[in-house]
Amino acid sequence: MQISSIICHYAEIGIKGDNKSYFERYLKDNIKQQIRGVSPGLSIVVRMLRGRILVELSESGIERIDEIIEALKNVFGLAFFTLAVSTKQDIEEIKKVALALCQQESFDTFRVKASRSDKNFPLTSMEIDRTVGEVIFETMNKTVKLKGADLVCGIELVNRLAFIHVKRFAGRGGFPVGVSGKILLMLSGGFDSPVAAFYAMKRGATPVYLHFHSVPITDDSSIIKARQLVKALNKFQPYSKLLLCPLAPVQQAIMHNGYEKYRIILYRRFMFRIAEKISKQFKSGAIYTGESLGQVASQTIPNMAAIEIVTKIPILRPLIGFDKQEIINKAEEINTAEISILPDEDCCSLFTPKHPVTKAHIPTVELAEEGLEIDALVDEAIQGIIVEGIGR
């Protein structure tokens, strides 16, 4: 029995009214893009089907089904998807297909679960369950179990067709990337910020990545890592922009100004000023970071306050309540850990003080910045930005 389609289901909570078609349009396009991303050249039909999205498989699509399944597992917004065979709405046909599909699987307990979007079918959902269940029971001698069965045979009656499936895959949940607009994601080479990018995309935001480097004082290893990280994160969004911003002139000016204990705070105030200014240019509505409360000296509440006070744009920190190990576990799951762990010369480790301040005193921070040509340094950094487009 040949699988002919994939039925994608999304959770409908919170996407009522006008929002719904907006959400569905993004989801449909993202499904198409993701499949094309893993199977270039594959011609694919993706269409709406009454609260579901249907992927119709051609011969070549069937051959590449495993790649397509992997792609769909990385589409945010999907609750689950099933591999289905479609037939006409005829109970004898439905029984035949359901039985054939079950015969390809190994299981002890099962249940049939029908749902009807077409209410004019002569049998109710429960009658379909019973009729089809009887055939499986009698032919295969398997036990019916309503809760926790090994195999669930789903039957969906929709648009004058019956879709029958026994294989179901969990989706990643969340919202389709794009529905929440663009954000600027501050990407270092560490474990945290790529995971923050994952959570940004999970709730529908499109990240534009911003990486600060200290070339030529350091080598370009952090830039190479940033590119690799964006490539790895592109399994959730096939194409991204990476902005590479030189921070060395800012850091040198700060170093010459004294206030050693405050150096990191000042670096970070400049990073946020630059990020806010280019947010406008890239239509980003917020800045995301990988900060988690108390993880390092700069991530205490007084320090975060002393840093973000220089901007007005929302600063979002999706990892604020995560432990380091939780972040690393997620990084491993999404394959960014293997890149983050590589050694690099990070800009924040340049001229770092032995004892950085943990409770920044804002008047002292302002004093430490006195004499710095803030606007000129910010503009110079922005002029030095190189924009790269990165695919998979």
List interacting residues with ligand ATP (CB under 6 A).
186-188, 190-193, 210-212, 289-291, 295-296, 298-299, 346-348
| Least Å from the CB of residue 226 to Mg ion | 11
When CB distances to Mg ion are compared, the closest residue is 190
- What does 193 interact with, of ligand ATP, Mg ion, none (CB < 5 to 8 A by kind)? ligand ATP
Q: Does 318 bind Mg ion (CB under 5 A)?
A: no
- What does 200 interact with, of Mg ion, ligand ATP, none (CB < 5 to 8 A by kind)? none
- What does 290 interact with, of Mg ion, ligand ATP, none (CB < 5 to 8 A by kind)? ligand ATP
User: Which residues lie below 8 Å from residue 10, measured CB to CB, with a gap of 6+?
Assistant: 23, 24, 27, 53, 77, 78, 79, 171
| Least Å from the CB of residue 210 to ligand ATP | 6
Counting residues that bind Mg ion (by CB under 5 A) gives 2
- Specify whether the backbone of 345 is left (phi greater than 0), alpha (psi in -120 to 50) or beta: beta
Task: Choose between 175 and 267: whose C-beta lies nearer to Mg ion.
Answer: 267
Task: Choose between 121 and 191: whose C-beta lies nearer to ligand ATP.
Answer: 191
Task: Choose between 95 and 211: whose C-beta lies nearer to Mg ion.
Answer: 211
| Least Å from the CB of residue 190 to ligand ATP | 2
- What does 77 interact with, of ligand ATP, Mg ion, none (CB < 5 to 8 A by kind)? none
| Least Å from the CB of residue 325 to Mg ion | 16
| Least Å from the CB of residue 190 to Mg ion | 3
| Least Å from the CB of residue 235 to ligand ATP | 19
State the CB neighbour count (10 A cutoff) for residue 352: 13
State the CB neighbour count (10 A cutoff) for residue 55: 22
Site string for Mg ion, 62-101 (x = CB under 5 A): ----------------------------------------
Task: Choose between 180 and 340: whose C-beta lies nearer to Mg ion.
Answer: 340
When CB distances to ligand ATP are compared, the closest residue is 190
Task: Choose between 121 and 322: whose C-beta lies nearer to ligand ATP.
Answer: 322
Binders of Mg ion in range 177-206 (CB under 5 A): 188, 190
| Least Å from the CB of residue 331 to ligand ATP | 9
* Residues lying near Mg ion in the complex (CB under 5 A): 188, 190
